[in-house]
Every structure is written in structure tokens, then in C-alpha cells.
């Protein structure tokens, strides 16, 4: 096995480990919480608060209406009981009654609007609770699958790491250092590039014939003159 081939094989293991670790990170985020579930929970909390506020508003209007009914009944009792004999006082009481009844009619409109609002909120809150229950069931089901996938990935990483360790024992330390340094600089983690039709598969730079020959024999490591990756001729 040439020096470049050993590093290429090492890279295949490293990239597979990278993909597995990236997926493990995604799974960890998913298991920590679902954005859709959290949004539905927030909406449910918001609707519950609005429902309590609407119920309190309706209760307040109902109390105001009862107070007005009591006051109207009292004034009508005074007016029709015969206790008032002064015409001016009777006129004053009648005017007071008219004003109270107008206020009571206005309260009826507010009462109807408040009742309709409360019914709408109850329907919205019921739908939201149903959606929340479904979202929680979905999250629970997804979590079971994600935990199973996580366990498989962790086992795979352990196996790949053992293979990597065994492979590294046969690679010269200076080659490992060079591979590690190049890999750390590349966003995609690719330190070893295949030569395809005499060009670097990563940057497309055509390699000089001496580099192509060097990569082919594998006696020495050949580096791409453009991107600096190790060239490997399969």
C-alpha cells in the first residue's frame, strides 16, 4: 500500500465518521425539542390566557348587568308603588329609569359580543389542544426512531474508530501530521484528492507530469500546486 493510498483510506474512514457525528448532532438537537411542538405549545398557552381573559370579561359584564337589573327593579318599585306623590320627583325617577334601561341595552350588546368571543376562543383552544396532542405523539414516535438511529451511529463510530486506529499504526507520523494539517484547513475535510484525467478532483487543477508520476508510484507524497491537497492516483 502506498503512502498516499494509506492516507486516502484513512480519509474515507474520517469522512464517514464526520458524517456520523454530524448526524448525531442533528439527532441530539431533535431530541432536545421540536420547533413545531414548541410553537404549538406557545400557541396553546396564548389561547388559554386569552380564554381566561375573555371569561373574566364576560363575568364582569354579567355582574354589571345584574347590578343594573337590580337598580332598575328598585326604581320601578319606587315609581309604581305609589310611594312617590310629587310629580317632579316622579319625572326624575322616570328619567333615571330611562337612562338605566339605555345602559342596560348597551350592556346586552357587549354581553352578546363577549359571549361570541368566548365561544370562538373555546373552539380555537380546543383545536389547538388537539394539534398539541398530535404534535406530542409525533414527537414521541420520532424520538423512539431517533434514539435507535443514535445507538446505531454510536456503534458505527466505535467500529470505524477502531479501524482508523489500526490503520494509523502503519502510517508514518510525518504523513499523519501533514494529512491532519491539510484536513483542518479544508471546509469539506478532504485532504487527499483523487487524480482524474491528470487533474485534481477537488480544485480541477491539471497536475504537472512529475506530480502525476509521483502520485502514481506512491513513493513520495505529491501535493496539488493549487489547493495543496495530497494527490492520489487510484
| pLDDT confidence band for 42 (50 / 70 / 90) | very high
Least confident of 14-23, 144-153, 210-219: 210-219
**pLDDT the model gives residue 181:** 97
Rounded mean pLDDT of 133-158? 94
pLDDT (tens digit, 9 = 90+) per residue, 85-141? 788 888 888 899 999 999 999 999 999 999 999 999 999 999 999 999 999 999 999
Higher pLDDT among residues 157 and 79, named by residue? 157
pLDDT at 225: 94
Match 421540536 to its residue by C-alpha cell: 34
CATH 1.10.287.1490 fits 33-168, yes or no: yes
Average pLDDT of the residues of the chain: 93
- Work out the pLDDT band at 217, boundaries 50, 70, 90: confident
Percent of the chain with pLDDT over 70: 100
Alpha-carbon distance 41 to 57, whole Å? 24
d(CA 3, CA 116): 79
Domain extent listing, the chain: 3-10+172-232, 33-168
**pLDDT beyond 80 at 218:** no
- DSSP string spanning 39-70? HHHHHHHHHHHHHHHHHHHHHHHHHHHHHHHH
pLDDT over 90 at 195, yes or no: yes
Torsion, Cα of 50, 56, 62, 65 (10° steps) = -100
Please determine, for residue 212, whether its predicted confidence score (pLDDT) is greater than 80.
yes
Amino acid at each position: 500500500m502506498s503512502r498516499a493510498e494509506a492516507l486516502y483510506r484513512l480519509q474515507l474512514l474520517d469522512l464517514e465518521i464526520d458524517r456520523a457525528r454530524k448526524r448525531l448532532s442533528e439527532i441530539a438537537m431533535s431530541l432536545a425539542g421540536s420547533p413545531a411542538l414548541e410553537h404549538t405549545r406557545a400557541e396553546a398557552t396564548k389561547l388559554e390566557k386569552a380564554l381566561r381573559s375573555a371569561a373574566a370579561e364576560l363575568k364582569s359584564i354579567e355582574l354589571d348587568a345584574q347590578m343594573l337589573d337590580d337598580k332598575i327593579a328598585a326604581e320601578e318599585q319606587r315609581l309604581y308603588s305609589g310611594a312617590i306623590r310629587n310629580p317632579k320627583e316622579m319625572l326624575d325617577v322616570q328619567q333615571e329609569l330611562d337612562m338605566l334601561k339605555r345602559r342596560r341595552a348597551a350592556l346586552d350588546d357587549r354581553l352578546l359580543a363577549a359571549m361570541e368571543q368566548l365561544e370562538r376562543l373555546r373552539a380555537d383552544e380546543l383545536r389547538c389542544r388537539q394539534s398539541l396532542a398530535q404534535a406530542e405523539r409525533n414527537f414521541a414516535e420520532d424520538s423512539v426512531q431517533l434514539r435507535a438511529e443514535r445507538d446505531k451511529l454510536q456503534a458505527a463510530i466505535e467500529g470505524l474508530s477502531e479501524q482508523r486506529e489500526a490503520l494509523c499504526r502503519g502510517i508514518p507520523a510525518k504523513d499523519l501530521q501533514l494529512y491532519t494539517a491539510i484536513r483542518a484547513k479544508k471546509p469539506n475535510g478532504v485532504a487527499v484528492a483523487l487524480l482524474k484525467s491528470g487533474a485534481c478532483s477537488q480544485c480541477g487543477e491539471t497536475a504537472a507530469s512529475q506530480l502525476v508520476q509521483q502520485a502514481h508510484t506512491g513513493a513520495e507524497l505529491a501535493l496539488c500546486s493549487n489547493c495543496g491537497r495530497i494527490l492520489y492516483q487510484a
